[in-house]
Structure 1
Amino acid sequence: MYFTADTQARILARFHFALIETGFLFVGKAEMLLTHADLFIPANLKYRIFSKVCKISLRDRLLVMSDSGNEEGTDRLVMNMRLRDEALETLPTAQIIVDKEGNLALVNRQAKILFGLTSHDLNRPLHDLELSYRPADLRSRIDRAYSQRRTVAISDVELIRADDRVTWLEIHLIPLLDTNGDILGISIVFNDVTRYNQLERELQRSTQELETAYEELQSSNEELETTNEELQSTNEELETTNEELQSTNEELETMNEELQSSNEELHTTNEELCLRTDEFNRVNIFLDAVLTSLRIAMVVLDTRLGVQLWNNTAEDLWGLRSDEAIGRFFFDLDIGLPVEQLRVLTRTCQNGKWEEQQVVLDAVP
């Protein structure tokens, strides 16, 4: 009572630093220490017995160090506070801290970017911010986390960003408790699970495709079994037919003699066919000239999809001469036309399933 308030604060700070965690401080009748409740609390106020506050906040400890004149300890605590703040700020996951009064206490850099928060939002009640109900209702979840004293998770939360991008979040609300189990606040972590959701959807789609393919495979297997039975029946018929062929072979030998006599007649007929072949070639040349002179681009492919005909209009349209195109594989041509999109239609027509197909494509002449 004979010291100034500043001197008393320094002395009590040193007592607090020197006293063990379970120690007690006895003072005179005139001392109450009520203005230093952050350091000592009454154990028996009647006899002026006070116990040490074992756990104080980092900032309160910094104040105690400053009052005690311990500059080295103060500097170390300041550095620890900066490290803690910077560690929270640079986390790759968005995170906010709400104190037990419901005010926004801390916001890291990712949370500021994700939700458009600024330093002006600090110390504001969370329920005044849009974040409290969008993209998910946090208020009821905070109450549940406090009452259950455990982490509450919210899955598959859709967040539509300012640029219309969709981000999927998994939110974890973690209650912050002191050593006595009392609520200090709550940490809310927003994990970006967009990539995982995309992979899960792709996996579900692939699974459905596999199930469909499996059903088709089972159907094909049943068809193959039916076909096998038909083949066995056909094999028996072939054996019967073989016997008939043997008897027919004798008849063919007889007919062979007759065919030899007909050979001379065929020779004469062959000469006539040669004459007709010449006529066919002339007609073919004529048709080739007609197709070449058509005012539309026309390409004729053989069974191996090699170019057989490339008319003049095709040369003008795509800038590729017929001698450069004929004989080449059609789908290897780089002519500004997305020919790869014609592959399925070409194969289908080639197999005779469709008589004619038409498709409109964007092309660069």
Structure 2
Amino acid sequence: MTEPKETNGEFESVLAYLKESRGFDFTGYKRSSLMRRVRRRMSQIGIEGYNEYIDQLQVNSEEFVALFNTILINVTGFFRDPEAWEYLRDHVVPALLAERSPEEPIRVWSAGCAGGQEAYSLAMLFADAIGVDAFRQRVKIYATDVDDEALTQARHAAYTPAEVDGLSESQLEQYFELQGSRYCFRKDLRRSVIFGRNDLVQDAPISRIDLLVCRNTLMYFNAETQTKILERFHFALALKGLLFLGKAEMLLSHARIFEPLDLKRRVFRKAVNAPVSYNHFVSPGFPQRRTHDIAGLDELREHAFSASPVAQIVVTEDEVTALVNAQAEVAFGLSERDIGRPLRDLDVSYRPVALRAYVEQARMERRSLRIKDVEWRRAGETVWYEVHVNPLLGKEKKLLGVSVVFHDVSWARQLLTELEHTNRQLESAYEELQSTNEELETTNEELQSTVEELETTNEELQSTNEELETMNEELQSTNDELQTINDALRERSLDLDEVNEFLESVLTSIRAGIVVVDREMRVKAWNRGAEDLWGVRREEAEGTHLLNLDIGLPLTELRPAVRDALADAGYHTELLLDAINRRGRATSVRLHCGALRGADGESQGALLMMEEGQPPGPSR
């Protein structure tokens, strides 16, 4: 099912944003697979629309890395597709070596190298074929990719046991060193493998390549882009150069520029006299200036070139070092012995910057290039260069060579650094001054507020003082009143004591037993007559439930009479009960039971008066 036109337009906006913001041009990739991978990444982070995903890319720089890893895939391994690599070892490499002299250099290009396994597989292949020493002297392997993260991994050349699982024990022992838990490719052979970033669609190809390996990369591009890349590959290959593709890639429609050497293993040879145009990566150079015939001009040019205040190197069309001035000799340790040597054999070809790719680009595009912010550390100091790579054109715009000029911009860099540092200090000082000013304003406001609060507090304290004085007067008055009440209560207490003594003398004077109970039938009064009659002291009886006292009265006849007295304020009854007195003898007790009326006329308890009479006899 195809995406709607509006969605396709939004997807093209994503590709345009990637090209403008990061310089990655994916417009040549197959839309179906490209769109499928972008949608996969969007679903992983929960985003539905392409415009929303562009917003995510703008605010999250790490999302670029995740998206590129999803798009580029970077699936690789050592000697991937063993059958094809065996054919390369047994037939292609021996034939390539037979066509060249024993001293002739061999140039190999691994395009789309990913994590470097393919490049190091090529290194092992050639080292096995010609020996390690000859490999270091003759073979250069250029490994390129658009993924900077993959290139970093490839330069480290450190692989896990799972990543080297397909290699034999002899290969691991001969070409790898075990460091911790990782297998690292030999350093002396690693120097022959040069890694660099190269976009097959936009960047210039590497030239004079004997074997170009680009496996399972073309299949991601559309037909038009594949044609452009294959034309660049044709230009990059030397005479009788070989192209090694992946098993999913065919060149049936490009037979005019490549001839199949083994179609099953995807090995092709560069077709001779192929009608290919390279206008899309060749640009016109600069016009030459004519000079007058002046005596000693060559010597004058030589001294002027040598005395130039900037380091300069000139190479021929074949990248052979032709001229080196005095500044270049001092800066990069060159000498007259290096003149005539290939640029690739000099340290300056990759330090302080990988020059060869820029020299190739200047040669092919016939235009000047400028490389900024090149850092070079030497003798404990850091030097910054701006490198200019200029094609040198002769008559009829024929390429004579390339000039490389190293402009020392350390002073400008230092001034710029100092200026940035000063600006940061000024900004920091201004922010501190602004902050101090704000703090002073805040402090002033707080002081003003504190003064107002103190004035308010003073007024409140004055008012509180007045209130306290008023309260003090009121308390004094209340104290006087309490003293008066206390005196009255004391007098009343004396009166109550007299009443109590009077009541006590009355109860004591009555010889009959007197018992007073409250509404809960608890004993409130117990006179001496009751003590003599029942043998229970006053202290034991008062507060105890009447029916819980151990006396000789029959409870079954006593309980109804007391309850009736508690219920009826006008109740009074007289009973003659058989009982046991305190001496344990049977006796007859005359009981008068009546209600104890309160001021409200209600029964507040019961009053019992008991007199011991004749011994019990027949009831009447």
Report TM bin, short chain: 0.3 to 0.5
Higher strand share: 2
Q: Which has the larger radius of gyration?
A: 2
